[in-house]
Amino acid sequence: MPSLARVGKPAILLIVLLAVATAGCERLRTITQGPPEPPPQTAPADPALPLGPHGAFGNPSNATADERNRDNFLIIGEGSVMSYNDSRGTANWVAWRTTRGDLGPSIPRPDFRPDPRLPAGFRRIGYSDYSGSGYDRGHLVPSADRFANPQLNEETFMMTNIVPKTAALNQGPWEKLERHARALARRLGAVQQIAGCYGEKERLKGKVAVPTNCWKIIVALPSGRTVADRDRRMQVIAVDMPNIDGIDDVRWETYKTSVEALQQRTGLDLSVIPR
């Protein structure tokens, strides 16, 4: 580019005028359009539940992961979320989501084992604590709800997911209701469930409380919907079953109740569950 000394005055004047005009256009663009827009922000995640995909019913006992909270200790697992009661040796409640994709053909049963997620100092309930008691090692999250994923299936065999049930309850109306819930998941795509027990009949080896009752709530979700949507098409099932003998052939429908009744009997806050 030639130096300005060798350029004539008319040319210099033209260069200056062009520079001024260019600066003026940039200033005008700034005034009319405003400052440059900030880079787009990442869209916030779907209001994810603090308890993960299995916590659609919230935290009905306000459980925490503080190891000092031994009788209401929060465990967020891959396949469920629960409040564990160290004094009883069982969960207060367990919540989980079952989708069509979680189901599958039967797989080999893992061994029952103590839950390694419990803090040091908590009781380690094991397989032998039920031995000779006459009670089944009854699942809360059913093994068959996790047949499609062996790792999640193993989680259902941790003893925190197990409660002492009579064979009549465990293999009778309770198991029939489990099959019904899976049928709903296959047909609709997903169901949200929460289950637990209350009362005390006796203690196994002085450690594990045998409940008087076991309860469950199932919310069957229309395709693409969540519990928070409170869609009127949702099917809500609440049951309260006695942990007794002689009910092998009883239909699960016999023990239907209301969410309100379970809230009163258990002392849990179940208000987020559609009525």
| Active-site amino acid positions | 139
In sequence order, the 6+-apart residues with CB closer than 8 A to the CB of 142 are 156, 178, 182
CA 98 to chain centre: 10
Residue 137, beta-bridge partner list? 164
Measured on CA atoms in the order 192, 198, 204, 206, is the torsion positive or negative? Answer: positive
Three-state SS string over the chain comes to CCCHHHCCHHHHHHHHHHHHHHHHHHHHHHHHHCCCCCCCCCCCCCCCCCCCCCCCCCCCCCCECCCCCCCCEEEECCCCEEEEECCCCEEEEEEEEEEHHHCCCCCCCCCCECCCCCCCCCCCCCHHHHCCCCCEEEECCCHHHHCCCHHHHHHCCEHHHEEEECHHHHCCHHHHHHHHHHHHHHHHCEEEEEEEEECCCEEECCCEEECCEEEEEEEEECCCCCHHHCCCCCEEEEEEEECCCCCCCCCHHHHECCHHHHHHHHCCCCCCCCC
Instruction: Give dist(CA 29, CA 14) in Å, integer.
Output: 23
